Structures are given as C-alpha cells and as structure tokens.
Structure 1
Amino acid sequence: MAATNSLDGLEPTLIRDGRFDLKLRLDLPNQAEREAILTSMLKTGSHAAPAIAEISRRTPGWSPARLRALIDRAILQAGGRPVTDDDILAALEESGGKDRPQVEAVNWDDVVLPGPVISDIKAILRLLVPGTAEQLRVPAPTGLVLVGQPGTGKTLVARLIASQAMRSFYAITPSDVLSGVVGGSVKRLAEVFARAREHAPSILFFDEMDALFPAVTGYGSQHDIQLVEQALIEISELRSEHQVFLIGTTNDLSRIDPRILRGGRFSEKIEIGLPDVEGYRRLLEMTFGPTQLASDLTTPRLVEMVRGLSPAEITAVVTAAKRFALARTPEQATALLPIEERDVEQAIARIR
C-alpha cells in the first residue's frame, strides 16, 4: 500500500500491473461531504445545522485535515468551555488572510485622493468584511479596476486596500509571467490563483492589466492568447465563498481583452485622476517635509507651479529641487539652503 499526491510524478515501472494493481483516488470533499465531516467532528455539544452549513459553504477546497485544524483552533479559543458555533466561525475568520509577504503597510495618511474616491474605497472595504454584505443585503464586490494615467498612485491604492482589508495579498506583474516560456507563465498564473484560494480571504493584484491581458488586434502571440485563456478559466472558477477579491490597474481600459472585464468579475471601476488643489497642497507638504523654503515660495505658488503633474512626478520634482539647492549650498554648511523658486522651475524642466 502506498500514497501519493501525484500519480503522474511516479516512475511508470513502479506502478505497473502486478505491483500496484488497484488505484483509489481520494478527492477533496465537496460541500455536502464537508458538512458531513464537520457534523461528525462536532457530534458532542449543541451545534445548529445552519451554522455547520455556513462553515462548509465557506471552506471550498479544504481537506478533512484542515477542517480538523479549524475545530482544534475553535477548541483552543473556547478555553475549556463547550465549543459554540460562534467559536468555530471566529476561528474561520482568523484562519486566512495572513499571507502578505509582498505588502508594505499603507495607511490613509499615506495617500492623497479626492473625497469621492475615498468614499468609494471605504464602501468596498466595508463590504469585504466577511458577513457584512449578507447582513446588509448588498451585493459584495468581486473585483476592482483602477484606471488612471501613469504616476497617479494606482498601485499605492491597491496596497492601501490590501493593508486595510487585512487579506492575503498576491501581486502579478508583467515581469512575473511574461519573461518565461508559455507553459511556465500559464503554470505561474494557475499557482497564484490556487494560493489565493488556499489562503483566503485574499486579494489578487494584476498590475498593468493591459500588458498582462492585451486586447488582440489582428495577429496575437501564442503566449498572450494562452495566458488570457488561462486567466479566463481561473476567473470563471472563482465563487463568492472563495473570498478572492481581484484588483487590476490600467492606463486604458480599451487595451485590455474585453473578455477579462466581462461577466462581472471586475464589478467596480474607479478612476484615479490628478489631485485637486487640496490634494496638491497635501502632496507638497508630504514630499517637502521639514525642508525649508524661501520666504517668497509659498504653498499657493508651489501648487500653481506643479498643477498638472502626477504624484509620482511631484516626488521627482521635489527630489530634483533639493539637489539644485544642494548645488548652491556651501560644502561646510550643516543645513540645506532654502529651496527657491528657480530650483523648482529647473526641477520641473528636468523631469518633463
């Protein structure tokens, strides 16, 4: 008798007839089977059938061993008293969403966004809390596309959502999947989706969707075609109970394969535009920080000078302006001379 996770990975001569004649496949339990397993594990105590059904619905792809670990966590949380349905649901809430190796924490103070955009994001975050959409009877969002010109902070907004939602986070960029052979790219995409389901609730972030899933106009490369087809398969297999939220960024929606955006998987679209006057003021205060400015270089004047630049460009302008001021600062000085208007003018000319 032997066991394996992959029959295809074994030496054929090892499993030929006469050695291992009988092969029995044990698949992961479906929802009804998970419900039966949980009922068996919880045969002691009083547990409501609707609660067990809810747990089984929210654990697709879970093995019996993982279900057992969930119950053990609930027992530990109960601290010696009889385990309740609330204990199990609480353990379920804490069982995922912690796989965030790629996320640097981003707070609301770190981003500069117009009021309506902040309201939209906070509404989405509220509905991402497990159980909130069902309680309020508001359809939960399935995905979000952030649209805007380069440098407006779309990636930072995605990291903000990941930080605030406290979900596992997986980023997929063109360099991750477009640099290898076709088969390797498709495998990498499938693996990331599988990991997102396993460590749910989670967020899958597609940076530069127009490069990852380009709209085919005329002849399309075999690589692009297979990658888009695999993405369509993976996205279509996601269900609400998987708790995988999709976020994508693009400069131009028309450059994305329309099949990716159809079907409601990216139910929300938010445009991240250039800052308003207040946004520019906050950006300048954040980027200049404690750096001293010349007395005639006021904040309103600075806002007027940088109007039309993206946040990324403003960061570059401030860095360049400090370097121009450094060039004027004597070598023996212990502090940077104040930033003058000409420093900012030269910096803007350099980055444009």
Structure 2
Amino acid sequence: MLVKLTKSRDSSPAWEFSTRKIDHDESYLLSLMRDRGTSYSSAPQSVLMSMRGMLITVLTLWIPLTPLMWLLYRQLSAANSPAKKRRPSNQLVCFEDVEGVDSAKVELMEIVCCLRGSINYSKLGAKLPRGVLLVGPPGTGKTLLARAVAGEAGVPFFSVSASEFVELFVGRGAARIRDLFSVARKNAPSIIFIDELDAVGGKRERSFNDERDQTLNQLLTEMDGFESDINVVVIAATNRPEALDPALCRPGRFSRKVYVGEPDEVGRKKILAIHLRGVPLEEDVGLICNLVASLTQGFVGADLANIVNEAALLAARRGAEMVSREDIMEAIERAKFGINERQTSGVQ
C-alpha cells in the first residue's frame, strides 16, 4: 500500500510504504525490482548482532531447561553415598578417650580383636558379628565408641546418619545403601557406622513411607549379602530400640546389642578428667572432678562436656586466665536450671 503524506513548502513529498513480509518469493521481488529499474543494496549482519541473536536463543532454551537438568542430575547422582570416610591414619580416637562406659568397651573390644586378627575365631567355627547395635540415651557416647573401635582396629571408618538415606526421590535411599556397602567391601576390613538407625529402620507395618521401606529392605539385603570371609562390621546407634523393625534385630544382622547407659559417679569423674585436659584451672583437677561428679547425678558425657565449655566461656567473659570453682558452679547451675536474670545481667 502506498500513501502520499502532506509536505511542507521547503521539503520534498514524503511517502509511506506498507509492505507484507516476504517469505518464499524473495527471488521474484528481486527480479521485479530489476525490471522496474529500482536501485537496491544490502549489508551483511554485524558480528555483534549475530552474537546477540545467538545469546537470546540460548537463554530462551536454557532458562526453562535448568530445573529439568538439575532434577536429572539429582537422579543420576543418587548412588553417591553420603557417608564420611575416615582413613586409619585419621583415626585419632581410641578407647582411652572414652570413659564411663566400661561394660560397653569390653563388649566392643572383642570386635577390635577380631578385626586385628589377634583372635582366631574362624578356627573354632565362629563368625565375626555382622552388626552391633549400640542402645542408650542421647549423649552417652555411642558415636564416640564406634569411632574408638575403628581407631583401635586401624581400619577405614564410614560414618553416616540414617536420615540422609531417605530423600524425596523414590529409590535414592536404596541406591545410597548399595553404594555404601559396596565401598566398604572394597576397603575391607572396615566399619560402617549408622547413627539414629530408627530414622530408617522403623517397623514397616507402622510406616506409610514407601521410600523408607525400600531403603530398609535394601539394608536388610546388604547385611544378608555379606560373605563370611569379608570383614565388614556394621555398628548402629539408636535411643529407641523398641521402634526398630524386628527383622533388623534377628540373628545374623544386629544380633549383638550393647547398652550404653548413663555413667555413675566414678565414670563421671573419668569423663570430666578427659574434657578438662588443656583447661587451666585455679584448683586441682582431681578436686574439681570430684566436686562436679557429686553434683551431676544423671548427667551424660555430652552434658559434662557442655559444663566444661560453659565454665571456660564464663572465665573468658570476665577476662580471667584460669577457670575458677565459681565458673564451674555457675556452669552447673546453667545446665540444670537454665540462665536466670542475674546471670544475664552479669553478661551486660
């Protein structure tokens, strides 16, 4: 369509052209322009404009595909085990660092002797226990005991929390279980430690979580699949043994149960002596241990470690170079009753 526009006195006529988009008859248009004597020219598209168009195209495709690619990556990496491996050279914990649980140490020392080879149990037709279940209240040192077993035996130690197996994607927990046990077999003799076993080993008739049931079934299968000549011991910890599935506790799996309870007064003294190493005190260490142990009935190892830490913080807060008896007593009061207004005002 051709339309003539208004013109002023000192300007030439202005014309407005309305055209349609040329798709497949571009050659016809060129031939028509040549026949009519119309002059025309063309210029190649600049490199900058070409890169701009390419960038727009890539971004247009990349933005909606990014979430899909992330989901695909999560699925493909499902077999990666979340376990943290500790090599024998990095095992700095031994039974000397664990106190207050003497009966549990005696039971676990047998596992250490078997892994070391100092007990010829196979000659008598015995088999190395496949699973050891540490049962007890929180903070009693179950994780520390498992690390001490690996440190004493000098074998690789794989530590994982059971809650890390259960994920949003179905089948991922089972894949992680397979990968964990596969790596442990390749590094045998080794120890697998599963903390908070009840997070994945709960009774199946009470569970409505298919993913957790699949993970538990895979764990049962892997423990049954141990060969007798492969020295891989699974140590698990829980404070809710009554919630575990009976299949986990049958002979051949977690058949050995070791109770890790609250320490008595003598045990609390020994635990305090360990945590007070390197802490400068105004009084004798033995005197402080006796005092604190007599005032902390029912406290576990984690509670005692927290008391020592709080006392050191209180001493640092008042600018002292040594921890006093008053700091220890105030830390015990905080652990028992919480922080009161008097203690809060002292901070300010």
The TM-score bracket by the shorter chain reads: 0.5 to 0.7
1:285 aligns with 273
After superposition, the Cα gap between the structure-2 partners of 1:258 and 1:351, relative to the gap in structure 1 and judged at 3 Å, is farther
**What is the CA-CA distance between 1:242 and the residue it aligns to?**
2.2
Looking at structure 2, the residues matched to 239 and 168 of structure 1 have their Cα atoms a distance apart, in angstroms, of: 18
**What is the CA-CA distance between 1:144 and the residue it aligns to?**
0.6
Looking at structure 1, the residues matched to 146 and 338 of structure 2 have their Cα atoms a distance apart, in angstroms, of: 26
1:251 aligns with 239
After superposition, the Cα gap between the structure-2 partners of 1:298 and 1:187, relative to the gap in structure 1 and judged at 3 Å, is closer
Q: Secondary structure at the match of 2:216?
A: helix
Q: Secondary structure at the match of 1:112?
A: coil
Paired residues for 1:290-305 under 5 Å: 290-293=279-282, 298-305=288-295
**What is the CA-CA distance between 1:191 and the residue it aligns to?**
0.7
RMSD, aligned CA:
2.6
Size of the aligned set, in residue pairs, is 250
Cα deviations across residues 235-266 of structure 1 (Å, max 9, x unaligned)? 11112112211111010211111112224222
Looking at structure 1, the residues matched to 313 and 238 of structure 2 have their Cα atoms a distance apart, in angstroms, of: 32
Q: Which amino acid aligns with 1:184?
A: R
1:121 aligns with 108
Looking at structure 2, the residues matched to 235 and 139 of structure 1 have their Cα atoms a distance apart, in angstroms, of: 14
Looking at structure 2, the residues matched to 351 and 142 of structure 1 have their Cα atoms a distance apart, in angstroms, of: 43
After superposition, the Cα gap between the structure-2 partners of 1:165 and 1:232, relative to the gap in structure 1 and judged at 3 Å, is same
**What is the CA-CA distance between 1:124 and the residue it aligns to?**
2.3
Q: Is 1:336 aligned with 2:322?
A: yes
1:127–1:141 Cα contact (<8 Å) kept: no
Q: Is 1:307 aligned with 2:297?
A: yes
After superposition, the Cα gap between the structure-2 partners of 1:154 and 1:219, relative to the gap in structure 1 and judged at 3 Å, is closer
Looking at structure 2, the residues matched to 228 and 321 of structure 1 have their Cα atoms a distance apart, in angstroms, of: 43
1:19 aligns with none
Q: Which amino acid aligns with 1:212?
A: V
1:238 aligns with 226
**What is the CA-CA distance between 1:128 and the residue it aligns to?**
2.6
Paired residues for 1:172-191 under 5 Å: 172-191=160-179
1:200–1:243 Cα contact (<8 Å) kept: yes
After superposition, the Cα gap between the structure-2 partners of 1:285 and 1:144, relative to the gap in structure 1 and judged at 3 Å, is same
2:6 aligns with none
After superposition, the Cα gap between the structure-2 partners of 1:314 and 1:298, relative to the gap in structure 1 and judged at 3 Å, is closer
Looking at structure 2, the residues matched to 238 and 337 of structure 1 have their Cα atoms a distance apart, in angstroms, of: 51
Looking at structure 2, the residues matched to 105 and 160 of structure 1 have their Cα atoms a distance apart, in angstroms, of: 8
2:256 aligned to 255, 258, 268, which one? 268
Q: Is 1:317 aligned with 2:307?
A: yes
Q: Secondary structure at the match of 2:257?
A: strand
1:106 aligned to 93, 102, 126, which one? 93
2:186 aligned to 191, 198, 204, which one? 198
Task: Structure 2 unaligned segments of length 5 or more: list them.
Answer: 1-84, 340-348
Q: Is 1:171 aligned with 2:159?
A: yes
**What is the CA-CA distance between 1:175 and the residue it aligns to?**
4.1
**TM-score normalised by structure 2 residue count:** 0.65
2:208 aligns with 220
Looking at structure 2, the residues matched to 133 and 171 of structure 1 have their Cα atoms a distance apart, in angstroms, of: 26
1:162–1:168 Cα contact (<8 Å) kept: yes
Q: Which amino acid aligns with 1:301?
A: L
Looking at structure 2, the residues matched to 324 and 260 of structure 1 have their Cα atoms a distance apart, in angstroms, of: 46
1:316–1:351 Cα contact (<8 Å) kept: no
Looking at structure 2, the residues matched to 298 and 167 of structure 1 have their Cα atoms a distance apart, in angstroms, of: 37
2:87–2:155 Cα contact (<8 Å) kept: no
**What is the CA-CA distance between 1:110 and the residue it aligns to?**
0.9
Which moved further from structure 2: 268-277 or 104-113? 104-113
Looking at structure 1, the residues matched to 105 and 254 of structure 2 have their Cα atoms a distance apart, in angstroms, of: 19
Percentage of matched positions with identical amino acids: 28
1:321–1:347 Cα contact (<8 Å) kept: no
After superposition, the Cα gap between the structure-2 partners of 1:268 and 1:288, relative to the gap in structure 1 and judged at 3 Å, is same
**What is the CA-CA distance between 1:277 and the residue it aligns to?**
2.0
Cα deviations across residues 186-218 of structure 1 (Å, max 9, x unaligned)? 111111111111221121211111012112353
Q: Which amino acid aligns with 2:102?
A: G
Q: Secondary structure at the match of 2:204?
A: coil
1:288–1:318 Cα contact (<8 Å) kept: yes
Higher radius of gyration, 1 or 2: 2
Looking at structure 2, the residues matched to 185 and 315 of structure 1 have their Cα atoms a distance apart, in angstroms, of: 34
**TM-score normalised by structure 1 residue count:** 0.64
2:191–2:233 Cα contact (<8 Å) kept: yes
Task: Structure 1 unaligned segments of length 5 or more: list them.
Answer: 1-98
Looking at structure 2, the residues matched to 175 and 282 of structure 1 have their Cα atoms a distance apart, in angstroms, of: 32
Q: Secondary structure at the match of 1:145?
A: strand
Q: Secondary structure at the match of 2:235?
A: strand
Q: Which amino acid aligns with 1:273?
A: G
1:159 aligns with 147
